[in-house]
Structure 1
Amino acid sequence: MEAENFLDLLKQVVADGKISFYYYCDPTSPITALHHLEIPYPGELSPVDLPYRWHAEKPGEDLIDAVWDDDSHSWIENSDKSQPALIAKLQASNAAMQKKMENYEAAKIKGAQNNDKIVQALSGVQKGQAQTTAVLAQLVPMVQQLSKSVNTPDKPNAADETKKKEGAE
């Protein structure tokens, strides 16, 4: 029975020359062809009579992979090669680069602060070395005087003289 109805309908469409095109959209399908499938239909359907995911509005020619957006009630781009998708990728890339630059600047400032601390510590060490050198400069003459007094006797001992005399005899 359905085949007879279809044939009757087909004959009527061919006789009238009236075929309407509707567009089926399954945005979750991995098959891209089902994202915006053109369906010829004999006659016209009112927007209320359209089956689920059928749309009377044709997708724009500028859309590469059109899918129906229920929020805006229009066709939108689904392809990652479209201009809006490329712009979104560039914006995301730009945001990532900005974050990296901020991190780099923060690390640079922290490194400079660490360098300042190292310079302060080194200058403290240099001051300590200078003070140590000054103290050593004062001690060297005293040590030299002490070593002279130990190495060169001021007066000969009487025992030393006696030994010299006995050894001479």
Structure 2
Amino acid sequence: MAEKKLFVYYYSDPDAGTKELRCHAIYTDIEFKELPWHVHTEKPSEDLSDPVWSNETGGWIEADKTSQGAVLAQQNEQIKSLIKANEDYKQQVSERNQQIDDLQNAIQESNRQNNQLGMQFNVFGTQMTQAMKTVTEAVNKLTEAQKKDGDK
């Protein structure tokens, strides 16, 4: 059985939004009789950090950072960053709202407990007042009784 030959082609789209889409290798065991659009047989130079195919020069060049694709990619990244920041902000607001709700619930529970304690203190105060009145009446009766006994 004959070994299959591996063919390497290079895809390039100068207007693509990311470096990976502007240039990447395609490995296949099929030889292209005609090269598809944006596909080239020449490998880009290792000196190029972001290579793209230039139809004007007929070869690989460094990608233009001001090209439409590069600008769109940068704006796309900024939009993604803003969307992420907005999602983070919404999460923080949600967490703060939950904290506020929890605090309000704790305050309501504390107020309920304070009202119960206040009612218990009122009952206790009423009982103490009644007890003091009873004691005072008893002491007054005893004092009057002692005065009457002393007057005799």
TM-score (norm 1): 0.49
CA distance in 2, matches of 1:85, 1:50: 29
CA distance in 2, matches of 1:126, 1:57: 85
Name the counterpart of 1:136.
128
**AA matched with 1:62:** Q
Alignment pair present for 1:146 and 2:152: no
CA distance in 1, matches of 2:69, 2:113: 65
Alignment pair present for 1:56 and 2:53: yes
Gaps of 5+ in 2: 1-13, 24-38, 56-62
CA distance in 2, matches of 1:156, 1:137: 31
How do 1:112-131 residues align onto structure 2 when only pairs under 5 Å count?
112-131=104-123
Runs of 4+ in 1 over 6 A off after TM superposition: none
Alignment pair present for 1:156 and 2:150: yes
| Paired residue secondary structure (2:40) | coil
Of structures 1 and 2, the larger Rg is shown by 1
| Paired residue secondary structure (1:49) | coil
Post-superposition offset of 1:121 = 0.8
| Paired residue secondary structure (1:86) | helix
Higher RCO (CA-CA < 8 Å; seq separation 6+):
2
Alignment pair present for 1:85 and 2:77: yes
**Aligned mate of 1:95, from 84, 87, 96:** 87
Gaps of 5+ in 1: 1-22, 28-34, 37-45, 66-75, 159-169
Aligned residues: 104
CA distance in 1, matches of 2:43, 2:70: 24
| Paired residue secondary structure (1:155) | helix
Cα deviations across residues 67-112 of structure 1 (Å, max 9, x unaligned)?
xxxxxxxxx73xxxx3222212211110110110110111011112
| Paired residue secondary structure (1:149) | helix
Q: How many percent of aligned residue pairs carry the same amino acid?
A: 7
**AA matched with 1:108:** I
